[in-house]
Chains A and B, each alone.
Chain A
Amino acid sequence: MTTDRTALSRRAFLGLTASGLAVAGLGACSLQQAASPDESKDPSASAGWAGQLIDPPMTKPDVTFTTMDGEEFPFVERTAGTFSMLFFGYTNCPDVCPVFLRTISRSIQAIGSGPGSDVQVYFVGVDVARDTPEQLKTYLGRIDPSFIGLTGSEDVIAAANAHLKMPPITIEDDVDGDGVYEVGHGKQAWPFTRDDVAHRMYPSDEVRQQQWVRDLPKLSKGEYR
C-alpha cells in the first residue's frame, strides 16, 4: 500500500514537473511569436515592409504651407534631399493622430541614432479654424518638440491632399454644445526619401513601433523594395 502510494506520488511529481516545463515552453514560444507584428493584418504590405509599395512613386505636393512661426514653407523646396514624413491630421483628433504621432516619436527614440533617426516629421493641421500656428506648437510640443507643424489656407491644404490622392477633408457641421466637431481626413503617412519621392505609403493607424523601427532605417538608406 505504501509502495503504491509512493509510486503514485513519484508519478504525480514527474507528471507535474513535465507538464509545468511543457507549459512554460509552449508559453514562451507563443509569446515570442506573438511579439512579432502581425503582417497578415495588412494584405497590401509586402514581405518585410509595413507600408504599401507605390509604383510609380508619389511626388511631393508643390504647395506653400505656413509654419508654426507664421513663416511661409514651400514644401518641395524646403525638404529637397531630406528624409521627411508627411502626415495630415488635426490637433483635436481623439484617436488616429495622437496615436500615430506618439508611435512614430517613440520609434525614432528607439532607433536612437543613425539611419532612420534622421526622419523629419511634418504634421499638417487640416482643421484651419482651430489648428492655428500657436495651437500646433502647443500640441506638438506635448508630443514631440522636434516635429514641425504646418498649416495653410483651405485651398492649399486641399491641393496637397488631392495631390496625394487622399480622401477629401470633411468638417462635420454637427457642432455640440462645447464647440466640438470631428474632421475627416486621410490616415496615410508619406515617407519622402532623399530622392524626393515616396516609394511606400503607410496606414498610420495600423503600423506598430516595431515596424517603424524596422522600416525607417531602410527608407533612410534609400531602400524601398
Chain B
Amino acid sequence: MLAVGWWCSSSDRAWSWTPSPYVGAWVILLGVIATAAWWRVRGRHQEPRLDAREAAALEQGSGPYPSGGASRAVAFAFGLVGLWACLDWPLAALGAGYLATAQMTRQVLMVLVVAPLLLYATPAGLAVRLVGWGRRLTVLRLAARPIVAVPVAAASLLAVNAPALVDPLVRTPYGAFLLDGIWIVAGFVLWMPVQCPHPGVRRLVGPAALAYLILQSIVPVLPGFWMTWADFPIYRVYELAPRVVDGFDPVNDQQAAAAILQVGGMVVLWLQISFRFLRWGYAQMDEQRRSGRPGAGGSTDGKPIRGAAAGAS
C-alpha cells in the first residue's frame, strides 16, 4: 500500500522498501519545473527595458554569464533529478530516520552538486525577473559577499550536522522540513559569491573564486573528523533506529557518513575547483595571446573580466 506523507521524518517502524512519496518534495519540484516552463514559453520573450537606475545597478555587477543554452539545459536536467533524489523517497526517508550515510549523501548532493547546477542553469533574465533591481537585489548582493556567505553557509552546515539539532528536529515532519530547508538554503548561499546568476551581482572570478571555494572546502572537516573518531554513535536517531542493512551498525554508518562528507564532498568540490582553475588559466592564456604582451592578462581597474573569464565563474 502506497503511503503518502507531506515531508519525511524519523520513525520507530522497521524500514520498508514500499514507496512513500512526499507531497512537499513534489510541490517544490513542480514549482521549479513550472518556473522553468514559464520562462521557456513566455518570460524570456519579455525582455525588460532598463531605466537609468537599473542600468547603473547592472554596471556594479559582473553581467550575465556567456550564453550556453545546451549546457544550461543539461545542468537543469541533472539539477532537477538531483533535487528529486534529495527530497523524495527513498533517500529522504532513509536520511531522516535510519541512516546517517543517506542523510550525508543528501547533503553532499544538494549542497555541492544540485545548488551549483541549478544556479548555473538559471538564465540571467530569469534571475532579474525573480529578484528585480530593488531591495531583493541588495539582499542578494549581501549574500553573495564572501564575508557573509562563508560564515552563514559554514554555520548553517555545521548546525544541521550537530546532534543537538538533528535528533529533536527529525522526529516531526515540521522539524525535518526546517532542518532540510536550512541546508538547502545554505547550499545556495555557499555558491552565491561565485555562481550568482543575477547580472547585477559582482561575482568572484579567477584566483579569488578559487580561494573562496578552497576556504569553503575546510568546513566539512570539523563534523567529518568528529564523526570519524567518536567512540560512540553521536546521533540518537540513527543509533536507535531499526537497522536497514543487517550488520551495518550505527558506528559503521557514522564513519561511512563521515567518509561521504570528507572524501565524496571533497572530490566533488575539488573537481569544480580544478575545472574553474583550468577555465581561468585558458582564459588568461587567450588574453595574453590576444594582447601579445606576456603577463598582461586581466583587467586593470579591479573589475572582474567579462566574457570568457566570467564564464569560469
Segment from A55-63, A114-122, A149-157, A205-213 that makes contact with B? A205-213
Q: Which of A31, A206, A213 is close to B163, meaning CB atoms less than 8 Å apart?
A: A31
State the Cβ distance, B229 to closest chain A Cβ, in Å.
11
Known: A5-B302, A16-B215, A38-B236. A22 touches B243 (CB 8 A): no
Encoded as 1 (CB less than 8 Å from any A CB) or 0, chain B from 117 to 148 comes to 00000000000000000000000000000110
Contact A208 B162 (CB under 8 A): no
Known: A16-B146, A23-B155, A27-B162. A95 touches B14 (CB 8 A): yes
Which A residue sits closest to B161, measured CB to CB? A31
Known: A99-B243, A106-B249, A206-B240. A27 touches B158 (CB 8 A): yes
From B158, B234, B240, residue with most partner A Cβ within 10 Å: B240
The total of chain A residues at the interface (CB under 8 A) is: 35
A166 contacts chain B at the CB level, 8 A cutoff: no
The total of chain B residues at the interface (CB under 8 A) is: 41
A38 cross-chain contacts in B, Cβ below 8 A? 167-168, 236
Contact A103 B13 (CB under 8 A): no
A54 contacts chain B at the CB level, 8 A cutoff: no
Q: Which of B154, B167, B168, B233 is close to A209, meaning CB atoms less than 8 Å apart?
A: B233
Q: Which of A26, A37, A98 is close to B236, meaning CB atoms less than 8 Å apart?
A: A37
Chain B residues in contact with chain A, CB under 8 A?
Answer: 12-14, 146-147, 150-151, 154-155, 158-159, 161-168, 215, 218-219, 222-223, 226, 230-234, 236, 239-243, 246, 249-251, 302
7 nearest A-B pairs in the assembled complex, by CB-CB distance: A94-B14, A27-B158, A34-B163, A34-B164, A19-B151, A95-B242, A30-B162
Chain A residues in contact with chain B, CB under 8 A?
Answer: 5, 12, 15-16, 19-20, 22-24, 26-28, 30-31, 33-35, 37-38, 41, 94-95, 98-99, 102-103, 106, 110, 142, 205-206, 208-210, 213
